Amino acid sequence: MQQPGREGMRSSIDFSCSDPKLTQAFQWAKEQALAYAFEGDPVGKWYEAALPGREAFCMRDTAHQATGAHFLGLAEHTYNMLYKFAVNISPSRDWCSFWEIDRHDRPAPVDYTDDTDFWYNLPANFDVLDCCYRQYCWTGDRRYLEHPVFLEFYDRTVDDYVRTWDRDGDGFPEWYPEYGRRGIASYHESDLHPKLAADLVAAQFAAFRSYAKIQRLRGEPGKAQAYEEKAKRIQEIYLRQWWDAARNRPYGALMHDGAFWKEYLPEFTIFPLYFGLVEPVDKRNAVIQWVLERGVGNIEMLSYLPEVLYRYGFDAAATSALYELTHPQLERREYPEVSFAAMGAFVMGLMGVSVGDGGATNPTAVSTLSHLPAYLRWAEVRSVPIKGNIISVRHEGQTATTLTNLSGPELIWTALFPSPGKYLVNGETVETTEFDLHGRNAYGAAIPVASGESVTVQLAL
């Protein structure tokens, strides 16, 4: 059920495809997400990213709704929200921020009493840092690279935050019973209370990797290399110490008695996939099959599933999950993460639109790869904002793609396809290059697309 925002937000992004039900699902997600966007409150521009009715946004939900929000034209809302988290990091809270901030620009009273008693999930700092890097990639907003508040947040998170919460000196934050709700070692909220959970390990890995990329963009190769190595070490530890070789499955958590938790829990299993921790491909596929066998357990984890499955090439399962996520009868479909995550899954997932950070020269470089399952003949997304450009992308199955640079400067488009062959660009043959896409092969070519130009790449039959 939609609850329209006070400002009546609008967005020009649009989507249609050969399945009217999926087209309708996109329209619902767009309208529902926009209904949660607000301006004019003391906190500034914001959107709901917490339990409906709290009139607030929390760190986890914001980090996972941000890309969908960007496609809706809410980049300034996201910037303001991430800034609020960054500016409120404090030594009095052991370098935590406020887990949840309400529209009155205060820590949400339901989660915060004072600096000695507040709710906090330890993956949060890492998740927000990783989100800031991704927002830079999509927006090109250099405030994420240059604003002193963000730089302080990044530096404190990868250093002071880790050291403060790492009581046993193993390099990972952990939870102890005396902490209570202040410093939970997972996004899994139950009476299990592990010392260290896999989703925290995965979020720390992603944060170190993104911090390294930020430092490389800032011209700090020494810092970049140091944290690339730290991220690699975390991944090596996970794959070596957290892998149950006998069952070919990962452990989910480290308990206080030193034993690993072996049972399936969605947060412990899906988040390592979401944050890109699980390599190589055979191990990752084993984890994905385990998830598909056991399910997601709650609406929050279902929100992330389509994006994860599309990223790793499980296109039919991903589209089924997207149908489920947007189905009118889905219980708790009004949870804000659902509509925002669906927006991300349509554009990044089904349509396979992605963007890099541009490196030192910062060109707008876009890639596309159709993830349309066999029963979808065509799909088109229009008016997608990417840095200073607005683009549209249309796929004809998985054999032809058209990109239109509706506005903005010339961009470089890498048109990717899942199979090798002879490809034509506007009717002329082009040589393709093989790409490694998350351990899978893709084939394509980099093509300049001028402002106002439309280019089609298709498999020659």
DSSP 42: T
Residue with tokens 């106002």: 452
CA dist 288 to 232, 248, 306, 417, 428, Å? 22, 12, 12, 23, 39
Which range among 69-73, 290-294, 331-335 shows the weakest confidence by mean pLDDT?
Answer: 331-335
The better pLDDT of the pair 372, 364 is held by 372
Residue % of the chain over a pLDDT of 90:
88
The stretch 383-411 carries a mean pLDDT of: 96
Rounded Cα gap, residues 268 and 280, in angstroms: 18
The stretch 193-202 carries a mean pLDDT of: 97
The stretch 421-434 carries a mean pLDDT of: 88
The stretch 38-62 carries a mean pLDDT of: 96
pLDDT of residue 1: 42
For residue 10, pLDDT over 90 is answered with: no
The stretch 252-279 carries a mean pLDDT of: 96
Residue with tokens 């046993």: 168
For residue 232, pLDDT over 50 is answered with: yes
For residue 363, pLDDT over 80 is answered with: no
For residue 362, pLDDT over 80 is answered with: no
For residue 457, pLDDT over 60 is answered with: yes
For residue 359, pLDDT over 70 is answered with: no
In degrees, rounded to 5, the angle at the alpha carbon of residue 301 between the alpha carbons of residues 330 and 121 is 130
55 Cβ contact list (under 8 Å, min separation 6): 48, 102, 103
pLDDT of residue 37: 97
Highest mean pLDDT (candidates 208-217, 350-359, 425-434): 208-217
Q: Where are the alpha helices (DSSP H) in 192-256?
A: 198-217, 221-241
The stretch 2-12 carries a mean pLDDT of: 63
- The DSSP string of 85-143 is HHHT-BGGGTTB--SEEETTSSB-TTTEEETTEE-EETHHHHHHHHHHHHHHHHH--TH
Tens digit of each residue's pLDDT (9 = 90 or more) over 94-150: 999 999 999 999 999 999 999 999 999 999 999 999 999 999 999 999 999 999 999
pLDDT of residue 4: 43
For residue 2, pLDDT over 50 is answered with: no
**What DSSP element (H or E) covers 412?**
strand 411-417
For residue 364, pLDDT over 90 is answered with: no
Rounded Cα gap, residues 81 and 97, in angstroms: 12
Q: How confident is the model at residue 399 (pLDDT cuts 50, 70, 90)?
A: very high
Burial class (CB in 10 A: 0-12, 13-18, 19+), 419: exposed
pLDDT of residue 5: 46
The stretch 35-59 carries a mean pLDDT of: 96
In degrees, rounded to 5, the angle at the alpha carbon of residue 154 between the alpha carbons of residues 136 and 140 is 10
The average confidence (pLDDT) of the chain is 94
Q: How confident is the model at residue 436 (pLDDT cuts 50, 70, 90)?
A: confident
Q: Where are the alpha helices (DSSP H) in 140-197?
A: 143-146, 148-156, 162-165
For residue 214, pLDDT over 50 is answered with: yes
The stretch 341-368 carries a mean pLDDT of: 88
